Chain A
Amino acid sequence: MLRYIVKRLVWLIPVLIGVTFLAFLLLHLIPGDPAQVILGERATPEQLEQLREDLGLNDPFLVQYARFLGRVLSGDLGRSIHTHEQIAVELMERFPATLELALAAMFVATVVGVTAGVIAAVRPHSWFDHLSMTGALIGVSMPIFWLGLLVIWAFSVQLGWLPPSGRLSHGIQLETITGLHLVDSVLTANWPAFWDSLAHLLLPAVVLGTIPMAIIARMTRASMLEVLEQDYIRTARAKGLRRGAIIVRHALKNAFLPVLTVMGLQFGALLSGAVLTETIFSWPGIGRYVVNAILARDIPVVQGSILFIATLFVLINLVTDLLYKAIDPRIRLE
């Protein structure tokens, strides 16, 4: 097991170097220069030249890349050329927001998805099966930015039940411990903050969770159906075990493995792919941060955050694999 983990971690290094190199290369191919973005309509050629020189943008491509790698190896992601803030600090300020949103979305997706999938599998061809699987198909086909607009229109504009944007109302105090508002408010027993955060979290989490929810529901159903056909379930049934016990203790446990893989993949995607949801709900997270940096040609920021996100992504995949093994010892890892 340990050897496997080490091996996987070592593999991570060439992949991450490749990722950063590709990101660096891409950014160098992008026309337009950050100096122009910073100086705007008023830029004079002298100022542009001066700024490029100051930012080190005039150095050869490989020199810039080497400088970046050197810095990263010494544990420094550098500073944004726009805000002059340390990129590590900026990432850490925004990451909890994204993490909280992704966790909430995943929670909604798993609870609803697995429940629907199990019921559908236990009663195939029932009205519930048809309804939930049709719903799941619509779910995987959903343009979530559109769904976001519609739920805002319904729940914020028309009904006025839920706030359309942000994470916390301004009058509410909350001490930052983990940066996850729900966790922090529970830790400090700050109930107004808890309800307020929950209200803010609800719409974006449901919207972001729509597609994973649909995928998990379909996966659970398919996987459950397969397991329910297996001999040991038949045996269990023959032994006269209660139906509910069979489903939960035997079938679901085994059917959960492929679902877990899907969850891992989806979670990684949620962490990095929430750009559209974060934009629509004004969620101060990492997706928006990176996209803005790409558009503003803030090369060090794009570089640093892609490295961060890719590492996270690969690590989540690793953890998923390990969980998989922990649950089912029959699986040999390579």
Chain B
Amino acid sequence: MRKRGLLFALSLLLILATALAGCGTRETSAPNSSQPAINEGTGNTGGDQTLVFGRGSDSVGLDPANVTDGESMKVTHQIYDTLVQYNDEDTTVKPALATEWNVSEDGKVWTFKLREGVKFHDGTDFNADAVVFNFQRWMDKNHPYHHGDFEYYGYMFGGYPGIIEKVEKTGPYEVNITLKEPYAPFLQTLAMPAFAIASPEAIKKHGQDFFKNPVGTGPFIFKEWKKDDRIVLERNDNYWGEKAKIKTLIFRVIPDNAARFLELQAGTIDIMDGLNPEDVQNVKNNPDLQLILRPSMNVGYLAMNMDKKPFDNPKVRQAINHAINKQALIDAFYGGLAKPAKNPLPPTLWGYNDEIQDYEYNPEKAKALLAEAGYPNGFQTTLWAMPNPRPYMPQPQQIAQAIAADLAKVGIEAKIVSFEWGTYLEKTKNGEHDMALLGWTGDNGDPDNFLYVLLDKDNAVKGSAGNIAFYRSDELHEILIQAQRETDQKKREELYQKAQEIIHRDAPWVPLAHSTPPLAARAYVKNYVPHPTGSEALNKVDVQK
């Protein structure tokens, strides 16, 4: 009896406490209050709702020009706008902070007309001066506010200043960007979240600390950042575009995938990425949850180092292609949420060659090919695996073990080797591996961004190889170079299809899978449209409890 009384008192206390919490916050959630509002579940049309996004690690920084990780981009995408932006579902470019643009005859001078009346979150005006300031900060190593590394600028534009010769203001709302040489993907590249326009005043004010005091023009305003815990954003009620449906957007860090999924089930977060493949079925079985699939623009592959024996022998490489059961891998370690890959290009990209017949799973054929190649009893080798999950391969260590088991069935004994991520990249670029797992996520939706980067002989240089199969085909090289110079889309498409045939024949890789990285969300989360590049603005997302 006494126990029950205690329980009653405790629950009373809890109810009281909850009620108090409600009162307290209702008082503080007046308009323009700096406190993030709390939804009490009674919100009518979702105008004051909160969305909590659970993810595996914290952002590195919130200065988009200065970060390379997806976790940072995910947040900066909400705070900032770029001059142009991608369509919601693909990589076609549409206006954003620039309303119109045109390019000169020789392809070198781009003129952008800027949107008028846009203000940064700190109240300063967005205009041509701001754009010029941002570009100069990125491209000029001697700029007083060039604090940081600006990796993406260097990578996409070839250094500092790279291919951009100058950026000038030609009117209060007009800028000219002059290139040293024509560069077809220029516009496409400007839509990447790294090239977002930040408030010059805020950059000047915060200097080195701008990364934690981000000010842009985007649909959400930065409120608070508790490191390794949460980032809180709030709706920008003066947004120039479609105003956000939700009032508060919180990104929470929960490193362990299983723990994050628990929080989702408990309803303490509303949406998450990095779902364990084992939990995919749990999401499907739970009526309160939904699965949202990000369209694939990636490939996970097994590269065979052709500089090493016996992988110089095409029969061995084909044998390995026949030995691996891709569908079983996908069912077990992608939760079924991937397509078996037969080409290096993801099927969502233009230029994809669907005519190609994959090497089917056939251990007998693999054994026969090995015997033909002079290895009737197989051989010993190493199989390298990444230490940590990547979007294109959620469980590399498990996948490596399953591949090793497949290979053992045809007589190949593969020892699994792993290094910490940075070392892994370094050593594979150096060609120290026999076979290695790796993958790639596309940046701007151009086949060149896959085929040339990953398989051209230009990139098979020890120490810096993107082509870690060290596959050196002159035949392929000629086609890829021709495709880079070609401006006619139709012809490029044909060239890339031909390129895939050559790659299929020479089999430098076992293309494994094109994953569709899953997000899991509460059923009441509406209009979440994931973008193939990995991050998206969440202004259209709604919470309808």
Measuring CB to CB, which residues of chain A are less than 8 angstroms from any residue of chain B? 31-34, 36-48, 50-51, 54, 79, 82-85, 90, 93-94, 152, 156-157, 160, 163-167, 169-173, 190-193, 195, 279-282, 284, 288-289, 295-297
Contact = CB atoms under 8 A, between A and B. Distances in A.
A33 B420 CA distance: 11
A85 B260 contact: no
A152 B521 CA distance: 21
Interface residues of B, number: 59
Contact of A171 (B38, B149, B151, B464): B38
B222 to A, nearest CB: 15
A170 B60 contact: no
Among B14, B21, B35, B253, residue most surrounded by chain A Cβ atoms (within 10 Å)? B21
A83 B211 contact: yes
Contact of A84 (B24, B147, B422, B426): B147
Nearest to B155: A42
B60 A82 contact: yes
Interface stretch (B103-111, B224-232, B329-337, B339-347): B224-232
A170 B38 CA distance: 9
Most chain A CB neighbours (cut-off 10 Å) among B18, B211, B262, B422: B422
B68 to A, nearest CB: 6
A152 B13 CA distance: 26
A165 B151 contact: no
Contacts of A85: 61, 209, 211-212
Interface in B248-267: 250, 252-256, 259-260, 262-263, 266
Interface in B6-55: 13-14, 17-18, 20-21, 24-25, 28, 35, 38-39, 50, 52
Nearest to A80: B60
29 contacts: A32-B422, A36-B423, A38-B149, A38-B151, A42-B155, A47-B155, A50-B154, A51-B149, A79-B208, A84-B148, A85-B61, A152-B262, A156-B266, A165-B263, A170-B230, A171-B50, A173-B21, A173-B24, A173-B28, A173-B35, A192-B20, A195-B14, A284-B226, A284-B227, A284-B228, A288-B228, A289-B228, A295-B420, A295-B421
Nearest to A285: B228
A47 B422 CA distance: 15
Identify the interface centre among A166, A169, A190, A288: most chain B CB within 10 Å of its CB. Answer: A166
B440 A41 contact: yes
A166 B252 contact: yes
B60 A192 contact: no
Nearest to B147: A84
B268 interface: yes
Given A36-B425, A169-B268, A84 B253 contact: no
A173 B262 contact: no
B427 to A, nearest CB: 8
B425 A43 contact: yes
A297 to B, nearest CB: 6
B327 to A, nearest CB: 26
Contacts of B38: 171, 173
Contacts of B266: 156, 160, 163-164
Given A43-B425, A169-B268, A192 B17 contact: yes
Contacts of A289: 228
B436 to A, nearest CB: 12
A34 B151 contact: no
B172 interface: no
Given A40-B68, A41-B440, 9 more contacts: A38-B151, A85-B211, A85-B212, A94-B227, A165-B263, A166-B252, A170-B250, A192-B18, A192-B21
B260 A33 contact: no
Contact of A39 (B21, B68, B254, B423): B68
Contacts of A190: 24
A32 B426 contact: yes
B155 A44 contact: yes
Interface in B189-228: 208-209, 211-212, 226-228
B422 A288 contact: no
A282 B255 contact: yes
A34 B24 CA distance: 46
A54 B229 CA distance: 30
A296 B463 contact: no
Nearest to B225: A93
Contacts of B52: 170
Given A32-B422, A32-B423, A38-B68, A165 B260 contact: yes
A33 B422 contact: yes
B161 interface: no
B159 interface: yes
Given A32-B423, A39-B151, A156 B227 contact: no
A160 B364 CA distance: 50
Nearest to B14: A195
A36 B68 CA distance: 12
B491 to A, nearest CB: 28
Of all A-B residue pairs in the complex, the 3 with the closest CB atoms, nearest first, are A32-B423, A37-B422, A284-B228
B66 interface: yes
A31 B430 CA distance: 13
B464 A84 contact: no
Contacts of B60: 82-83
B262 A164 contact: yes
A47 B429 CA distance: 15
B42 to A, nearest CB: 13
B254 A32 contact: no
B253 A284 contact: yes
Nearest to A48: B464
A282 B226 CA distance: 13
Contacts of B440: 41
Contacts of B229: 166-167, 284
A41 B159 contact: no
B25 A36 contact: no
Contact of B259 (A47, A282, A288): A282
Contacts of A193: 21
B426 A33 contact: yes
Which of A51, A94, A284, A289 lies at the interface centre, i.e. has the most chain B CB atoms within 10 A of its CB?
A: A284
A125 B263 CA distance: 45
